[in-house]
Each structure stands twice: as C-alpha cells, then as structure tokens.
C-alpha cells in the first residue's frame, strides 16, 4: 500500500464529500457530523447511518446468543496497556490517522467472515497471521503493511545499547523494528468475538508498541446495530 498515494486519494475523497448542511440527515454520526468518508481499495466510500427510523437489523448480527465457549463475551480490556475504543473514535481515526497515512483499521477476522462485509477503509489481516512464526512470509508481509520491518543481523553492541533504552530500543526487538509502526484499531465480530483480542495479544507478544494499538470491542455487531455503512471487500 503506497501511503503517499493513499493520502492524496483520501484527501481527495474527503474533499469530495463531507457536507454539513447541504443534505442534512436526521440520523447523524454524532452532534456535528452527518458522515465521514474514507478510502476502501482505492475508492471513496461514505460512512453514514441508516436513515429509516423504523429499521431493525436482520441477519446474523441480530442474534442474541451463540455457544459459549467458544463465543463468549469478551472482557472490556484485552490488555491494560491497550485502549478500548468506540465508534466515535473510529470516525475520528478515519478523518485523521487514516487520511494522514499514520493509522490503519484492521479487520482481524478470518477471510470467510471478512468477505461478508467489513468496515470501510479497513484491511483484512486474520488473527492467525499474527500468531504465525516470525519467519512466516505472511507475517512479514502483514507487518510490512503496518510499517514494521524485519531486522537482519544486529550488532551485539547495538542490541546491548537498545536494551538499555538507547537508539529507540523500546521500539525494537531482536526480530522487528517498530519505529515506523502505524497506529492500529483492530476489530472483529463484536463483544462475543475473540479474533481481534487474539490478534492484539499476538501483536503485543511480537513487540508491537501497545500505545499504538486499540481495540474496537463493538466490532461488526455494534457497527451494524448503529446502521453504519459496511462494504463487501
């Protein structure tokens, strides 16, 4: 993904839409915004809410119950160092970090879930990829998309200094350089889904800076409950 091009496209996309008054909606995103626009696979997608006040969701995300285990209600926090965020945070993230190219929304579900519909602007990296071996090319490719670089042989002295906290050592491990790692918001199916929590734990284990991770616990369940736009990848 070329972020300079993406940034230009995202900027163009945002400039195309986002009218606050010309087509005022009854059901806004918040008290200020009717919608936000983002880029999905190079195309502009407007994220709004369904305007039909009588609409109720149908389909699988209307289910109240699934077997637990394996689909148990997840704790509010995945890790005390990782923020749990809401829909409003995602809108802000779309308008700021995603546009600037410093942030990525990650759909951590298996492709079989992702292809049914996802949050616009997200990329799909299944949690199983993050749980792969450090030498697995899928993991290397996925982390590359997130701004993480695989390290080669590191000089012993350099590594010693890094472990002392010098040379940005807190952003480097034996295997990975997280200096340019993007801010991420990870999600999956909702508060009953363990896929994004597993992805987050795997990323933490790899050494991903926790302050650059966030957990959208609401996931597709809440996204759909609010009538927000989804897209088939």
Partner 1 sequence: MIRRTPRFRPGFGRVRPLLWLALTLASGLPLAAPADAYLDALKEEANAVQVDPLTREPVAGQAPSPAGAAPTADATEGKGMPAGLTQAEFEDFLQKKYFGSFSFYRKLPRQKKDAVFQAYSQRPDIRFIREQIKQTYLNQ
Q: Rule CB under 8 A: which residues touch partner 1?
A: 7-8, 11-12, 14-23, 25, 33, 35, 37, 40-41, 43-52, 55, 57-62, 66-67, 70-71, 95, 109-110, 112-113, 116-117, 120, 128, 194-195, 224, 227-232
The CB-of-133 to partner 1 minimum distance in angstroms stands at: 14
133: Cβ contacts below 8 Å, ≥ 6 apart: 139
233 burial via Cβ count (<10 Å: 0-12, 13-18, 19+): middle
58 or 135: whose CB is closer to partner 1?
58
Smaller CB separation from partner 1, 74 or 195: 195
Contacts (Cβ under 8 Å, ≥6 apart) of 127:
108, 109, 110, 188, 195, 196, 198, 199, 202
Task: Locate all alpha helices (DSSP H) within 179-218, ordered by sequence.
Answer: 195-206
- The residues that bridge with 49 in the sheet, in sequence order, are 228
Tokens of 112: 């079989």
From the CB of 61, what's the least distance to partner 1, in Å? 7
Nearer to partner 1, 25 or 166 (CB): 25
Q: What are phi and psi of 104, to 5 degrees?
A: -135, 135
- The sign of the CA dihedral 39, 208, 202, 219 is negative
Contact 189, 197 (CB under 8 A): no
| CB-nearer residue toward partner 1: 46 or 83 | 46
Task: Specify the residue, 40 or 172, whose C-beta has the smaller distance to partner 1.
Answer: 40
Q: How far apart are CB 73 and partner 1 at their closest, in Å?
A: 15
User: CB of residue 48 vs partner 1: minimum separation in angstroms?
Assistant: 3
State in angstroms the smallest separation of the CB of 10 from partner 1.
10
């Amino acid at each position: 993904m070329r972020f300079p091009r993406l940034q230009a496209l995202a900027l163009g996309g945002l400039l195309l839409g986002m009218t606050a008054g010309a087509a005022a909606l009854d059901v806004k995103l918040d008290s200020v915004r009717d919608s936000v626009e983002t880029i999905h696979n190079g195309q502009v997608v407007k994220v709004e809410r369904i305007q039909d006040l009588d609409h109720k969701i149908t389909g699988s995300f209307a289910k109240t119950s699934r077997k637990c285990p394996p689909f148990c209600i997840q704790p509010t926090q995945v890790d005390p160092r990782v923020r749990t965020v809401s829909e409003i945070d995602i809108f802000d993230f779309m308008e700021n970090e995603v546009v600037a190219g410093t942030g990525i929304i990650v759909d951590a579900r298996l492709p079989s879930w992702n292809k049914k519909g996802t949050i616009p602007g997200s990329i799909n990296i299944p949690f199983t990829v993050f749980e792969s071996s450090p030498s697995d090319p899928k993991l290397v490719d996925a982390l590359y998309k997130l701004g993480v670089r695989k390290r080669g042989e590191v000089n012993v002295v350099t590594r010693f200094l890094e472990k002392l906290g010098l040379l940005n050592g807190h952003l480097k491990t034996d295997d990975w350089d997280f200096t340019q790692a993007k801010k991420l918001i990870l999600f999956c199916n909702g508060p009953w889904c363990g896929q994004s929590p597993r992805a987050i734990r795997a990323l933490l284990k790899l050494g991903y800076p926790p302050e650059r991770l966030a957990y959208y616990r609401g996931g597709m369940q809440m996204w759909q409950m609010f009538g927000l736009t989804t897209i088939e990848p």
